Amino acid sequence: MSTRIAFLKGHGTENDFVIVPDPENAVDLSPAAVAALCDRRAGIGGDGVLHVVRSAAHPEARRMAAEAEWFMDYRNGDGSIAEMCGNGVRVFARYLQHAGHASEGDLAIATRAGVKTVHVAKDGDVTVGMGRARLPEGDVTVSVGRHSWPARNVNMGNPHAVAFVDDLADAGDLLSPPPFSPAAAYPDGVNVEFVADRGPRHVAMRVHERGAGETRSCGTGACAVAVAAARRDGADPAVTGSPATYTVDVPGGTLVITERPDGEVEMTGPAVIVAEGEIDAEWLETAAG
């Protein structure tokens, strides 16, 4: 490993990431190394790491190399692997544009949840085709303290439990994963969204992301919230034949989510590169233990 490793810092509606460009998949990013990078006091700080690898160079992405040149090897802040990160895809696309690997317009990005189509607009917003939501059957309940709510089970390539509440403050501090039942519903854990209405087709949310805690934003979570809200509101596009668009306020900004009659979900929002520099490889090796 070289003594210096390039990195950038970026965010999408304040869901922030350490970006590690590594086209040939040469940097060993162990779970401990990722957790060290994401440490907000002893490291760079972030909700997760965007490991930028050519699809052909990564064993999990080679099958997608013909469709997408670049693979988003996403890691949660605790070092665990995640299937997908909606805000992360937008920031990943912004990095590719920043680095000269892509330009305005459409591009494809490989993820563990499949190939995602991304559109980089002139105004700076990035739109991501997030695929179709799956709605696993079965009742789910989430709890915070003495409060419990029924939750809609929505899978956007990763699992979500969406609970509609009267007041977002009822969700408490969200430092720990909110308990859910039945336990078998989410054997690998779940992202939990608490949602309050703000107006017609307009909601606000807070989220506990598995492996990261409460974050300022969650792109797949915002999509799950819009899908759940459309079912609650009788606006399921497959039934009405019309797209359902929701404005979703997150603590870090605003996302616009549209679900189309064919089931495709699109997310639009900002993505910003704020800094770049070098990681000391010796520090990273020591910090990773």
Residues annotated within the binding site for substrate are 15, 76, 86-87, 158, 191, 209-210, 219-220
The b-or-e profile of 30-62 (16+ CB within 10 A means b, else e) is eeebbbbbbeeeebbebbbbbbbbbbbebeebe
**Amino acid sitting at position 202:** H
Contacts of 245 (CB under 8 A, 6+ apart): 201, 256, 257, 258, 259
Which two three-digit tokens encode residue 196? Answer: 């309050």
Annotated active-site residue in 34, 49, 85, 120: 85
Is residue 218 flagged as an active site residue?
A: yes
Spatial separation of the C-alpha atoms in residues 235 and 126, rounded to whole Å: 25
The rounded radius of gyration (Å) of the Cα atoms in the chain is 18
Neighbours of 168 (CB within 10 A): 14
Which two three-digit tokens encode residue 132? Answer: 């179709």
Partners of 231 in beta bridges: none
Is residue 38 flagged as an active site residue?
A: no
Annotated active-site residue in 53, 130, 218, 279: 218
- The residue written with tokens 């665990």 in the block is 80
Q: Which residues are annotated as part of the binding site? A: 15, 76, 86-87, 158, 191, 209-210, 219-220
Active site residue ranges: 85, 218
